[in-house]
Chains A and B, each alone.
Chain A
Amino acid sequence: AQSVSQHNHHVILSEAASLELGCNYSYGGTVNLFWYVQYPGQHLQLLLKYFSGDPLVKGIKGFEAEFIKSKFSFNLRKPSVQWSDTAEYFCAVKPPGSARQLTFGSGTQLTVLP
């Protein structure tokens, strides 16, 4: 079945460490890609998105993601994490032909230790 995969379920880092969260999808054709963040007790917020153009996308709070079409990947990165980045991170894909619905990955819980 076509899907969105986030292989890291829980990542624990110390402050200032670099972060990379994986996201792979299995849809062919043109997709739109998103990363959302859910801080404890809060609603999902958009971190960044890719529709077309430069495959390296910069988002809010120092996050960026790179779309690699050949690998069907859209990994999220941040060079130096902070304690306040502790949250759940969701990758989402709008598949080709979709009437604007999103398919979400299972999420990655990031814990940053002070």
Chain B
Amino acid sequence: GAVVSQHPSRVICKSGTSVKIECRSLDFQATTMFWYRQFPKQSLMLMATSNEGSKATYEQGVEKDKFLINHASLTLSTLTVTSAHPEDSSFYICSALPGSEDTQYFGPGTRLTVL
């Protein structure tokens, strides 16, 4: 149980385009999902907390207009990287919290490469 999927697993796009990444909890409902960014050989940096039916809470230094988060249902959160630039190239990971637990379950990540 507690499986989280992400789609796509890899995406390559041109500079200036927008990319949408989906995060789904497959066998549980998640009122809260988190979006992280992981640079090579580094730790996970929390970008934002996504709550179903309300606006996301962004960490300091994360541009909310660039990284749009939508959590429209209890099983789906999306991260849209708008007007992507090469410096946005990274590994984006989501996690989901079952409503009754304090343990996050992680998705497999999405490798974004912006040319």
Q: Which residues of A contact B (CB under 8 A)?
A: 32, 34, 36, 42-46, 49, 51, 90, 94, 99-107
Partner of A101, one of B4, B49, B103: B49
Q: How far is the CA of A94 from the CA of B104 in the complex (A)?
A: 11
Nearest neighbor of B94 in chain A, beta-carbon distance: A43
SS of B interface (majority): strand
Q: Does the CB pair A94–B43 fall under 8 Å?
A: no
Q: How far is the CA of A32 from the CA of B107 in the complex (A)?
A: 21
Q: Does the CB pair B104–A102 fall under 8 Å?
A: yes
The number of chain B residues with a CB under 8 A from chain A is 21
- Among A43, A102, A103, A107, the one with the most B-chain Cβ atoms within 10 Å of its Cβ is A43
Q: Does the CB pair A43–B107 fall under 8 Å?
A: yes
Is B84 part of the contact surface with A, judged by Cβ < 8 Å? no
Q: How far is the CA of A46 from the CA of B97 in the complex (A)?
A: 13
Q: Does the CB pair A51–B102 fall under 8 Å?
A: yes
Q: Does the CB pair B93–A44 fall under 8 Å?
A: yes
